[in-house]
Amino acid sequence: MIKIGMLLGDRYEILEKIGTGGMSDVYKAKDHKLYRPVAVKVLKQEFSENTNFVAKFRSEAQAAAGLMHPNIVNVYDVGEENDIYYIVMELVEGITLKKYIEKKARLSVKEAISIAIQVSMGIEAAHNNHIIHRDIKPQNIIISRDGKVKVTDFGIAKAATSNTITSNVMGSVHYTSPEQARGGYSDAKSDIYSLGVTLFEMLTGRVPFNGETTVAIAIKHIQDPMPSPRDFVPEIPVSAEQIVQKCTQKSPDRRYQTMVEVIEDLKRSLINPDENFVVIDDGETSGQTRVVADGDMAKPRKKAPRKEHEEEHLRLNDAEKPRPKKSSSGKSREPVHTEDEEEDEYDPKMERVTTILAVIAAVLIGCIILFIAGKTLGIVDLEEIKSRFGTSEKSEEVEMPDVAGMSLTRAKEMLSGLGLDYEVTYEESSEYEEDIVIGSNIKTGRTVATGTTVKLTVSAGREGTNIPDVSGKSLAEATALLEKDGFKVSRNETPSDTVEKGYVIGQSPESGEKAPRGTTVTLQVSSGPDSSKVSVPSVMGMSEMDATVTITETGLTVGNVEEVNYEDPAFTGLVCYQSYSVGDYVDPGTAVDIKISKGPMDVTYGFNANVESPILEDPAFISGTVVTVILMSAEGQELMRTSTATFPVTMNVSGIKGSGVGKVVFQYTAAAQPVTTTDPVTGEVMTVPGTEEPRMIERPVQFVPETQN
């Protein structure tokens, strides 16, 4: 069982858990030999108990450890300790492509193609080492903080020369190829299919197939036609759409056959996104009758057993080297060719045909080069050629409408309705309002084929376009926002103590200003804190000694130390204030002032008032009566006592502790009035003298707070 702080292989110290997956947990660790941070992927317990799986895990990890490429999360080491099986990998700080897509809804075409190129280069390096990933998906692609794209999780990848696996168990069904969904053999072209689905999601923000169950989604990969990304985002250029379509063909033979081909088309799409250059095998030539030349019919061929021909056919399809045949003893031997066989294989007529075909191919290549050069220099007008001579494709022709003066939205709708594509460029105009079409590269009324790309020139307004506010955004997000509005982007890196590395500090021109589309906006991007500065640690809640040690070890010094009252009693005797905020970057040797709490502040009260007689409470009180007046706190403490027959009496007391309330107690003897009565029989008048009785009256009072200590 993995515990924080334990040491694996006497080398890797586990620091914290940073992720978990279906088969493994990932920890951040420190390599004590090379003094660098690493990621350690540990196989979960339920898989560790499976002997076959462990053997496969070990062999696959060892194969992946041989991969070293800038676009791959490199595997450094493989180990086992006390039934703990682990892989040590490069630690990449960043965000998964899946989360990046979710954050941005969908990526721009340029950004998606650029990411796909880097992913493809990583996959190509793996394929060159006979390793198939088998689980390419946005969750296994990381974009580092410096913008590098890296493919990770080769934990379920497998050496191409080893036994196959059924990826419907181990892969992610949204990105799985049809052959993987069937549980059949998967190879490099399965990775190409998954890459195509990933590119689809980058461009549209959604996966092509969805369903309530994994089985339902897998069946769609096998049976349903792949939707076009342009069904969801019409402005996606034709080259990007076709690359996705070719990557995701149901038949592996109709996909790109190698990652080299994928990278070549992706790079071309980045430069010429609206060029229709992707060649997709429509499958019509397969199975057609082949005409055999007379010379071939006349030339006898050696017969071979049917089974041997079938095996050779399979080997050619798989692009593998022919396997050595076995002798009757069971040992491998190389086939033996006689001189007669070599002479029979030579065909002069076929050599002439080959020579002629080579010459024709050279001429065609030369024509293509001249055509491309002419188009680049503006000598060849492709649209003019199409309109005059038509195209090789059987496409419908439409008449180019007059779009000048239309809003860009209306022009797009009209062109899309006619089956035409469009490309937009902006320029300032004093004649046309912003987002009004100035003109196009195809004359009004000209007949063009559907699918033709019309280049629209659109007004950026008299004063240009508002520059969006990208401060505080990541460089990738800021670039996407600015490029979306037609601006170019440059960046300058500058240290910052407050803005995270890779995020925008400011911009020039400022947000809200107007500028022509195509204007370069310079971004000030944080490169992180200045390495010459020192980060201020937190010493709050520490004792004075511990705080002094912490500050000194950081490279700073302790400034003034002061004892103060602090309202939270839990901080009594501890640091309750530091002069710099935690995380601030300051020069080494800077003095940090601290304050030590001596507990909550003591509050005292005072009472200075003229106390009136108790006649308010006792209407029978007789003036001149001697009264004892006592001032008491609410807690029962006697604060002052005096006797007087004259009111009001002045009471002045300070330094009273307690709740801030008290009372004045009046104690005195009251004489009752004499009572006179008349005898009703005799008429005699009798007077009974009054008696004396003690009285005690209480009057509540409020104390006044004094200066606090």
Look up residue 517 and give its two tokens: 């589309």
β-strand pairing of 75-81 with 94-96: unpaired
Rounded distance between C-alpha atoms, residue 451 and residue 593, angstroms: 72
Residues with Cβ < 8 Å from 2, sequence gap 6 or more?
14, 25, 27, 42, 84
Q: Are 121 and 127 in contact (CB under 8 A)?
A: no
**Among candidate residues 37, 56, 47, the one with its CA nearest the CA of residue 84:** 47
Residues with Cβ < 8 Å from 588, sequence gap 6 or more?
532, 533, 534, 555, 556
Q: Are 300 and 144 in contact (CB under 8 A)?
A: no
Rounded distance between C-alpha atoms, residue 6 and residue 14, angstroms: 6
**Among candidate residues 599, 601, 604, 629, the one with its CA nearest the CA of residue 614:** 629
Catalytic (active site) residue 135: yes
How far, in Å, are 49, 199, 495, 528, 554 from residue 186 at the CA level?
27, 20, 48, 44, 55
Alpha-helical (H) ranges within 562-687 are: none
Look up residue 242 and give its two tokens: 């076709």
Rounded distance between C-alpha atoms, residue 639 and residue 653, angstroms: 7
The pair phi, psi for residue 121, each rounded to 5°, is: -65, -35
Q: Are 232 and 213 in contact (CB under 8 A)?
A: no
Burial of 396 (0-12, 13-18, 19+ CB in 10 A): exposed
β-strand pairing of 94-96 with 141-144: antiparallel
Q: Are 158 and 132 in contact (CB under 8 A)?
A: yes
The count of residues in the chain is 709
Q: Are 558 and 575 in contact (CB under 8 A)?
A: no
Single-letter code of the amino acid located at 577: Y
Look up residue 362 and give its two tokens: 């050279």
**Among candidate residues 507, 427, 511, 490, the one with its CA nearest the CA of residue 464:** 427
Look up residue 267 and give its two tokens: 């790079």
Look up residue 456 and give its two tokens: 């629209």
Q: Are 95 and 142 in contact (CB under 8 A)?
A: yes
Catalytic residue from among 135, 153, 191, 421: 135
Rounded distance between C-alpha atoms, residue 575 and residue 547, angstroms: 8
Residue identified by tokens 């490169």 is 527
How far, in Å, are 96, 627, 670, 700 from residue 643 at the CA level?
86, 5, 15, 19
Q: Which three-class secondary structure state does DSSP give residue 220?
A: helix
The count of other CB atoms within 10 Å of the CB of residue 3 is: 6
Residues with Cβ < 8 Å from 354, sequence gap 6 or more?
none
State in Å, rounded, how far the first CA of the chain is from the last one. Answer: 56
Residues with Cβ < 8 Å from 278, sequence gap 6 or more?
239, 242, 243, 245, 246, 265
Look up residue 109 and give its two tokens: 């075409």
Give the sign of the dihedral formed by CA 351, CA 353, CA 358, CA 359: positive
Give the sign of the dihedral formed by CA 155, CA 157, CA 160, CA 163: positive
Where in the sequence numbering do the catalytic residues fall? 135
